[in-house]
Structure 1
Amino acid sequence: MASLSFKYWDDCVDPQDLDAMWAEPDVRAEWIDVGETQGSKVHLSRDPDGQPYLTQTEMRAVAGIIVQRHFVSQIDSDMLCAIAELESDRQPLAKRPNKKPEEVLMGIMQISPKTAEWLVSDLGYRTYQVAGCSKILYRPFVSVYFGAAYLKWLSNFDKKERSEEFMVRAYKGGTKKATHKSTLPYWKKYLSVKESLPSRKAFGVGPVINAPLASASGSQMTVSGPVNITWDSRTSPDDMEKMWSNPKINKEWTKCGEKIGKVRLSHDKEKRPYLSRAELRAVSEIIVEKHFSSIGLKPIALCAMAEMVSMRFVNGVGQRTGLMGIDYPTARWLYKDLGYKGYVVESVDDLTKPFVSLYFGAAYMAWLSEYEGRARTRQFVVQAYVSGPQNVNLQDTSPIWTKFEEALSRYESAKK
């Protein structure tokens, strides 16, 4: 075990994270039942050996909060809970040697400092800084954040969409052992543990809010859950002004009761924020007019691509980040090496901002349109965007192109 000691939750979480835990109805009930009082220090549970651990209720809350903040619709919180159970028995101070003698695995999710530093420096997961302060990995929220980030990377390892089994077995043994018999027992244990976790329905994140929001089809819907992600928190004042100046957006937002400075993003029943088609089109038109008007890129082409890769979910879907599914290394390459500096991208969270994601998606499409110094067709660009330029085959009828044309038709008919 590590030399430091956690007696209270206050020793290992920031005040705002402790507030978030108190806001969890199940955590609040559990803490009050054992005599904890909000405003006073909250004791960590201890096992017979005196080591601190998180209860299943606490673990699920931490995983749910981290997923909601950073990995909505990308990582399943149950996966995090089950892996934590297997890796550390939910003990924040767990520590064991890694494959190399000089490396150690730390915390609830058993992440090595080297892996965490790589996730920060190369993949843009910069909510927490690890360099020179590896003991931060013993903090539950930090450990779960980097565990989720690593699983997100595994989900698209080698640019291929990976299964849950691949992700879990690679988490245990590395990518080379993901299909090796040595990691099969771990996978079976994982399935058993995941199956025994408390029901998802027993847990919610944050206070219940009921508010009318525009659904994907444009109709009104009522959503229960934390509708606390706003346009204003992910958009510059200048871009928000342009959005309000759009007559269709002004009408849509006003109809939903939105106010300047406090415009809510629409959320689906699973609390995932998304853009209406009118909002997506408005962002695309602003981006193209401001940055790409000279290359002939059409706003509706951007809309169709976003529809394909993210279904208009702001945080992205699965292994793809953000509305346009652009990953952080690609965005940084476009920014640093190709000079696309209309928006700054300093962390992976920047790519969950609608304007930033649309901008770098457009930049990547622009680069593909001149791939290897040749003018390329729209069909090439679409296939290359989704599958990589090396994997394009224009001879065959591509389901990707068919899907794109279908998405495009929605925006063309709306224009008419």
Structure 2
Amino acid sequence: MLCAVAEIASNRILLIENYDKKKKERTAGLMQIAPEVAEWLAREMGYRNYEVEGDPMLLYKPFVNVYFGAAYIKWLSSSDGKERSEEFVIRAYRGGIKKATHKSTADYFQRYLSVRDSLLAKRAEEIYDDNPLASDGLRARMLKAGEECTFWDSAVSAEDMEEMWKHPDVLKEWAKSGERRGRVRFSHDSEKRPYLSRVEVKAVAEIIISRHFSSRGVKPTALAALAEVCSMRFVNGIRSRTGLMGIDYPTALWLYKDVGCRAYKVTSVDDLYNPFVSMYFGAAYLAWLSEYEGRERSHEFIVQAYLGGPENVNLQETGPLWNKFQEALSYYGDSKKDQGSCCIL
């Protein structure tokens, strides 16, 4: 997607600049990002690997430009709290959200599809030429041979790691897989994405609750089930959801600044790729939703609000989000058929 957007937005020219008279907006670089958009992404959405505020010339550097282009695409993919289609994202990238369904962006999307498909075909040819006998399984093994493992120890604090080692179920699992102190590996899927085992997810939830939310009565199984639904236990999240618990940076920052949840500091979106940080703010948000607008809320309201936003809750009928949560609970010992055990608080 990024390569295709760069192709049609700038023709892969690094030092290109355009000005839209209608929007009165200047865009720059490979991904044709407006300086105002990049600064907003850094300031409000926590994308701070590059300090662009006050220095728009940085957008002519390819890594900086692609970084903010990717961040903007990710934001568009869940704009207004909805999971957006590829067509919506690309057309909104070109003309803004209001023009995502306007005829003026239709040709842009068709050009994107043409470039995207040609890039995919070219990539397939390169793989075949490099290794014509390679099946998917063989290629995966070849990639794995040179794969650099991602370690727990580089993602979380020494204090949190010590708590994980003290957890009996985690200790048993890590001992069985041959993990060593200082070199504990995340599990990886076939696409090399790091994820937590269910034992690890539940342990992180139990540690966070025992430290910070014991008086609120939040159940570890509820947090673990939400992680299952939100991110499929992937460390970096999936699609538009950030991190293990799917908590985005603005929500975490609001919980930190305005609600007073300050056990973990959050200064950028990267902080939320720490499983403990994500779990902490997920638990904080769950606790806050339990008394949304000053009223004690039902379990179904809390789950629907967490997954889809409190303004989108519909308690008139059992929705798919609640059903997914119920199913996920069963993975952690809470039977979805036993309503008495399906407790959140």
Give, in whole Å, the separation in 1 of the partners of 2:209 and 2:78: 29
Give the stretch that moved more between structures: 340-349 or 385-394.
385-394
Cα deviation per residue 1:56-93 (whole Å; 9 max; x = unaligned)?
Answer: xxxxxxxxxxxxxxxxxxxxxxx000000001111111
Q: Is 1:133 equivalent to 2:55 in the alignment? A: yes
Q: Shift in Å at residue 200 of structure 1?
A: 5.5
Q: Give the one of 74, 94, 104 matched to 2:26.
A: 104
Contact 1:108 1:138 in 2 (8 A): yes
> In the alignment, residue 110 of structure 1 is paired with which amino acid?
Q
Map residues 11-410 of structure 1 onto 2, 5 A cutoff.
79-99=1-21, 103-197=25-119, 198-199=122-123, 202=126, 223=144, 226-410=147-331
Contact 2:74-2:240 within 8 A present in 1 as well: yes
Q: Supply the distance in 2 between the matched residues of 1:184 and 1:120 (Cα, whole angstroms).
A: 29
List runs of 5+ in structure 1 lacking aligned partners: 1-78, 204-221
The 8 Å contact of residues 108 and 140 in structure 1, kept in 2 or not, is answered as yes
Give the residue type in structure 1 aligned to 2:199: A
The answer to whether the Cα contact below 8 Å between 1:283 and 1:354 also exists between their aligned partners in 2 is: yes
What is the alpha-carbon distance in structure 2 between the residues aligned to residue 357 and residue 201 of structure 1?
Answer: 40
Structure 1 residues 395, 113: closer, same or farther in 2, change over 3 A?
A: same
Counterpart contact for 1:125–1:149, Cα < 8 Å = yes
- The answer to whether the Cα contact below 8 Å between 1:124 and 1:346 also exists between their aligned partners in 2 is yes
Q: CA deviation at 1:171?
A: 0.7
User: Which residue identity is paired with 2:73?
Assistant: L
Match of 2:134 in 1: none
Amino acid at match of 2:3: C
Mapped to 1, the partners of 2:124 and 2:215 lie a distance apart of 50
State the TM-score, normalizing by the size of structure 1. Answer: 0.74
Cα offset for 1:138? Answer: 1.0
**TM superposition score normalised by structure 2:** 0.88
Structure 1 residues 393-402 or 317-326, which shifts more? 393-402
Partner residue in 1 for 2:133 = none
- Decide whether the 8 Å contact of 2:236 with 2:244 is kept in 1: yes
Shift of 1:257: 2.5
CA distance in 1, matches of 2:21, 2:73: 19
Q: Percent identity?
A: 61
Shift of residue 104, structure 1, vs aligned partner: 2.3
The residue aligned with 2:135 is none
1:97–1:282 Cα change, 3 Å: same
CA distance in 2, matches of 1:394, 1:330: 24
Q: Deviations over 1:214-268 (max 9, x none)?
A: xxxxxxxx95663432211210110000001112212222322222112111110
Shift of 1:202: 4.4
Cα deviation digits, residues 313-341 of structure 1 (max 9, x gap): 11111111111111111111000000000
Distance in structure 2 (CA, Å) of the matches to 1:395 and 1:285:
32
Instruction: Give SS of 2:331's match.
Output: helix
Query: Does the CA contact (< 8 Å) of 1:223 and 1:267 recur in 2?
Result: no
Secondary structure of the 1:194 match is: helix
C-alpha separation in 1, matches of 2:252 and 2:263: 12
1:378-409 CA-to-partner distances (Å, cap 9, x unmatched) read 11100111121122222212221111111101
- In 2, Cα distance between equivalents of 1:202 and 1:363: 48
Structure 1 residue 112: Cα displacement: 1.5
Instruction: Sort the Cα spacing of 1:225 and 1:391 in 2 relative to 1 into closer, same or farther, 3 A.
Output: farther
SS in 2 for 1:199: helix
Q: Displacement, 1:113? A: 1.2
Deviation at 1:201, TM superposition (A): 8.1
Q: Residue type of the partner of 2:293?
A: E
Contact 2:242–2:248, Cα closer than 8 Å, also in 1: yes
2:195 and 2:232 map into 1 onto residues whose CA distance is: 8
Q: C-alpha separation between the residues in 1 aligned to 2:296 and 2:290?
A: 6
Q: 2: distance between equivalents of 1:177 and 1:340?
A: 38
CA distance in 1, matches of 2:147, 2:331: 30
Query: More displaced, 228-237 or 294-303?
Result: 228-237
Could you tell me whether the CA contact under 8 Å between 2:221 and 2:334 is conserved in 1?
no
Whether the aligned pair in 2 keeps the contact of 1:287 and 1:358 (CA below 8 Å) is: yes
1:134, distance to aligned residue in structure 2 (A):
1.3
CA distance 1:287–1:101, shift in 2 (3 Å): closer
What is the root-mean-square deviation of aligned Cα atoms in Å? Answer: 1.9
CA distance in 1, matches of 2:144, 2:263: 34
Measure, in 2, the Cα distance between the counterparts of 1:266 and 1:176. Answer: 41
SS at match of 2:276: helix
Q: Amino acid of the residue matched to residue 146 of structure 1?
A: F
Partner deviation per Cα, 1:121-170 (whole Å, 9 max, x = no partner): 00000000002221111111111100000000100111111000000011
Return the structure number with greater helix share. 2
* CA distance in 1: counterparts of 2:293 and 2:176, whole angstroms: 48
Query: In the TM superposition, what is the alpha-carbon distance from 1:199 to its structure 2 partner?
Result: 1.9
More displaced stretch, 192-201 vs 371-380:
192-201
2: distance between equivalents of 1:155 and 1:339?
A: 29
